[in-house]
Structure formats: C-alpha cells, structure tokens
Amino acid sequence: MATKNIFRISITIILVLVLAGIIFYPKVKPMFSSGQEEGPQPGMRGRGAGQPLYTSGYILVPTKMNEMVNSTGSLLPDEEVDLAFETSGKVVGIFFEEGRKVKKGELLAKINDKPLQAQLLKLQAQKKLVEEREYRQRQLLDRDAISRESYDQVATELQSIEADMMLIEARIAETEMRAPFDGIVGLRMISEGAYATTQTKIIRLVKTRPLKIEFSIPERYSGEVTPGFPITFVIDGFPEPFEANVYAIAPKVDVNTRTISVRAIYPNTNEELKPGRFASIRARLSEIENAVSIPTEALIAEMSGEKVFIYNNGKAKEVKVETGLRTESHIQIREGLNFGDTLLTTAILQLREDLPIQLDTLVTNQHLVNEEIQ
C-alpha cells in the first residue's frame, strides 16, 4: 500500500509541475528574449546603426505638361423668343407649320384688321381731296391770288391726314406677327379663331445656327481665357468631340461659386446639335514643353520655402526648388532640379541631408503629364 501511495503522490507532483510550466512559460520567455527586432519598418528594411535607408528613385526627363480645365455646360440657341401679337384681337390666320424653318420677316399669323383697313380707306379718300385743294391753293399762291396763311392751312390739313394714315398703317402692322430672325418655329400655343392679347404666347422661334455653349471656370483662370480661346466639348451620342471658340466672358466673378461664366460659339452648320443639351467642356490652359516635373508627394513645404531630396553618390541631398505649374498629381520645377537628377519619392519624412540611401526602385519619368482640373 505504501508503494501505491508513493506512486500516486509522484504522479500528482508531475502533473502539478507540467500545469505550472504551461501557465508560467509565456510570461517567463520574454525574460530570455535575445532583444532582436521583429522585422524592419517601412523604409528601414534591415537598417541598423550606419545602415542605409531604403527608398525609391525617380529619374527626371523632359516632359510635356498640359493643364486642362474640365467643366460642364449647356448648349444655348443663338437667338430665342416667344412671339406674341403687339395688339389684341381675333386670330384670323396662322401661316406657319410647326417645327419648320422660317425666314426673317415672314408672316406667321394675323389678327382681324378690317376696322383699321376701313379707317385707312377713309383717310386715303380724304387725302386725295385735300391734295387737290393743296394743288389749287399753291397755284393761286404763285400768282399772289391768296394769302400765305390760306395756303398753310390746307398744307397743314394734308400733313395731318398723312400722319393719321401712318398711325393706322402702324396699327395694321401690329396685327401681323412676323419672324424677327431666321430660325425654327416650335409648337403653336393657339388656334385660328381664338382671341389673343399682348400676353398670349403664339409660338417660340429658335435660331439653332450657330449655337452658344455656356459654362463656368474657376476664377483663377479668368485671365487666361480670352475671346478666341479654343475649347472642345462632348455630347452624349456623338463619338467625336466638337470644337468651339470663346467669344464672351462675364465681367464679374460669381461670389457664391467663385467661378466666372464663359460663352463659346459653335457654327452648327448642319444643325446636328439641339439647344438645351448637356455638354462636357474641356479647355487646355497652360502647355509647357520640356518641363521638369515631379510627383506632388515628393515636394516638402517648409516655412522657408519648398524643397526635395535627390540621390547623390549614395546619400540624400536636400535641394531648394522654385515651383511653377501645378496639376493634380505633378508640379513643374522651374529652378533647383535638372534633367537626369534622381528624385527620392518614398520615406520622405525620414530623409535627412547626407543620410545613406539604398534605392530599391528606380523609375524613369517618360510619360506625358496631362492633368485635368475639376
């Protein structure tokens, strides 16, 4: 029995030791750690005392920088007007077909003018009689048979009748609605026999050749866009872009949007485009050949100016730069860098003057920098 008790006690002690080892081993292990780093941080791969910083290089070559402004706009008719009569009356004639072209001066509709025509006939008859009297009086005046005063009375009466006739003719003209310019008439809003007033819209006349394109640009570009400035615009349903030229610029910046309104003209010779359509506008502003351009993330801004780091004989070299044209992803460098320099583009915040550098990636800037500004 004593042997069995000793065996049980031994087993119990062993189990207690194993359990204690499982519980306390993770806490004890760090005490015997070798002190080695778990792994290199970004830009610090394998770097210890005196070890180089790993970064990427960007070889500068001549590029072409284009600054494009993207905007949205609408197509507007060259001229547009809602036509109405200048006087009130019953519509006695409609002489146009909806949706067709009309010429300037063409008669489109007419109001009843019979009372006015009757008045005109009466005045014409009176004028004839007064003209005969004026003729006879002038003959007598030439022979000094009547006084000058008698002749002037007849001449004045003739002038008064002529003035009344001109007034009636003007009122008759008001009963005629004529096209003020060449264009296309829309859908008529009244029928023959209806009574029309000066507020009654009869038809809309639209001139679609040429077309205007209205859009807005940021205020900072107002000095670059001038009359004659070329733009391109895209319309849904047409595979190729259209070209137009700016002809007018608003004299004032919109204080709410800080943009300035611009209008361009498109010939629309074949009248393939309709007013009111949405247009995507593209305007090329600045274009620089053989520019030194760098990615925006490589530029470091400081109180004293702007700088970059370049690779020089295995070390980082700080260079002060003067910038120019800025786009969304690239910046033109006017002074400080030359073609062939290797710009450092990663681990920017860790770079210092004369810091040992190891290039793990080297890129040549061979693409066209053509950015779009919204």
Preceding omega of 218 cis (within 30 degrees of 0)? no
Q: Say yes or no to pLDDT of 374 above 80.
A: no
- CB-CB contact of 174 with 85 (8 Å): yes
Q: What is the pLDDT of residue 28?
A: 44
Dihedral class, residue 204 (left if φ above 0, else alpha if ψ from -120 to 50, else beta): beta
| Confidence (pTM) | 0.62
Torsions phi, psi of 236, nearest 5? Answer: -55, 135
Cα–Cα distance between 60 and 72 in angstroms, integer? 35
The highest-confidence range among 8-22, 68-82, 345-359, by mean pLDDT, is: 68-82
Tens-place pLDDT, residues 154-183: 999 999 999 999 999 999 999 999 999 999
Tens-place pLDDT, residues 290-338: 888 888 888 888 888 899 999 888 888 999 999 887 777 788 888 888 8
Tens-place pLDDT, residues 110-140: 999 999 999 999 999 999 999 999 999 888 8
